[in-house]
Structure 1
Amino acid sequence: LYYEDENKTLVQINNASPLRQKLTELIEKDKKHEESFLIVMWEESGGHTINVLNPARKDNIEHIVFDSKFPIIADKYPVPALVLITELIARGHEISKSIDWSIKGINRTIPAIDKKKIKIMKNFMKNDKKALTINKKEYKVSALSDNANNVDIYRLKSADSTLYFRP
């Protein structure tokens, strides 16, 4: 799990504390105590988790504690999420205002010979945290690791696009 800091650098989260702290800071800064947040997490495997959270109160160390009147919906298939989103729209929630429309993506598998794939991945490993120029466009390379610190996904980020791919 990662979040993007103010400098657009990815920060890996191995436990809940940094994420909770970051959410608390953002809610305090933007004075969003009365807002509801639609939280959606997509898993690489194709599953997802979705819920509506409300900042309820602060705990004894000043972190915001969230509550929800809905059960967590998690599933490999999109039907439960679609049902929940449809119900929220029917109740008058303006979901489109809460969506980051800059996020666009495609899912494409590119066949490769193993030796060629290994060579490509080693080159990306060497360029982690560096900038690459492809067709006159600059991309920052980031290797994203799992909790065992194995590179799981690479991210190429330019000023106007982001590309994710797996080794």
Structure 2
Amino acid sequence: MDTAILYIEEEDKSLKKINNSTPLKEKIINLMDRNGLDTEQFLIVMWEESGGHTLNTLNVSKNPDTRTFEFSTDFPLIADKYPVPALVLIAELICRGHVISEAIDWTIKGINRTIPAIDEEKVRIMKNFEKNDNKIISIKGKDYEIHALSDNSDAIDIFQLKSKDSTLYFRPSGTGPDVRFYIFGKKETHLEEIHTVMNYIDDNFKYY
């Protein structure tokens, strides 16, 4: 899919762009090799920020003759714009004895906010900010590594701003006159931080 934005997070937390299935298969094979597994079934969950998500099962087994791993699935894609699949998963995990609250890092808070921008302003923000790709910028005394995330046709769709204790993203909305910002940061300061970054982008890249 040309419009897909697909990245894998490496062990050092950097993002690696992928445009085919090979890197993901290699990750799974390495994981199974490290754990001495010849066969395993994975639940694949792909989350999407506006509420859509895709679920599927992936069967991976080592062929006894060729000793290579083979991948298969028994189902078509399961996609939904409602939280029913997520609730089913959570209910099943609870039934199996998992304590969901213990798997959550409560020191981190995620939230999204928007700034108003008509189509021309969206384009201007993305074009003007592109000069910061792979650079470090300082916003109100805090340093951020900037990375442009592109789709498989190499069109930049999202910018990532990563500091030592937070990660922010922003992108133009495809459905309304605004630019959307997202933060995963410290619970005590995430609201102030996202508004600081929003104001910086709005003031410096929207009108020039």
Amino acid of the structure 2 residue aligned with 1:94: H
**Match for residue 65 of structure 1 among 53, 61, 71:** 71
Aligned positions of 1:89-128 closer than 5 A: 89-90=94-95, 92-94=96-98, 96=100, 99=103, 101=105, 104-112=109-117, 117-128=122-133
**Match for residue 144 of structure 1 among 129, 142, 149:** 149
Amino acid of the structure 2 residue aligned with 1:160: D
**Match for residue 54 of structure 2 among 41, 49, 55:** 49
The answer for unaligned runs of 5 or more in structure 1 is none
Distance 1:104 1:64 in 2: 39
Aligned to 1:8: 13
Higher relative contact order (CA 8 A, sep 6+): 2
Q: Quickly say closer, same or farther: Cα 1:133–1:27, change in 2 above 3 A.
A: farther
Of the structure 1 ranges 111-120 and 80-89, higher mean CA displacement relative to structure 2 is found in: 111-120
TM-score when scaled to structure 2?
Answer: 0.62
Aligned to 1:163: 168
Q: Percent identity?
A: 56
Distance 1:135 1:152 in 2: 25
- Contact kept, 8 Å, 1:36 with 1:52, in 2: the verdict is yes
SS of corresponding position for 1:143: strand
Amino acid of the structure 2 residue aligned with 1:77: Y
Q: Quickly say closer, same or farther: Cα 1:21–1:97, change in 2 above 3 A.
A: farther
Shift of 1:73: 3.7
Aligned to 2:82: 77
* 2:65 is the counterpart of 1:87: no
Tell me the alpha carbon deviations over residues 9-39 of structure 1, each in whole angstroms, 9 at most, x when there is no partner: 211111111111122223333x273876553
Q: Quickly say closer, same or farther: Cα 1:122–1:71, change in 2 above 3 A.
A: closer
Shift of 1:142: 1.1
Aligned positions of 1:3-42 closer than 5 A: 3-29=8-34, 31=35, 33=37, 37-42=42-47
Shift of 1:120: 3.3
- List, as ranges, runs of 4+ consecutive aligned residues in structure 1 with deviation greater than 6 Å: none
Tell me the alpha carbon deviations over residues 81-134 of structure 1, each in whole angstroms, 9 at most, x when there is no partner: 2123213322x1526389563764212221136565444323321111111122
Shift of 1:72: 5.4
**Match for residue 134 of structure 2 among 129, 133, 142:** 129
The aligned length equals: 163
TM-score when scaled to structure 1?
Answer: 0.75
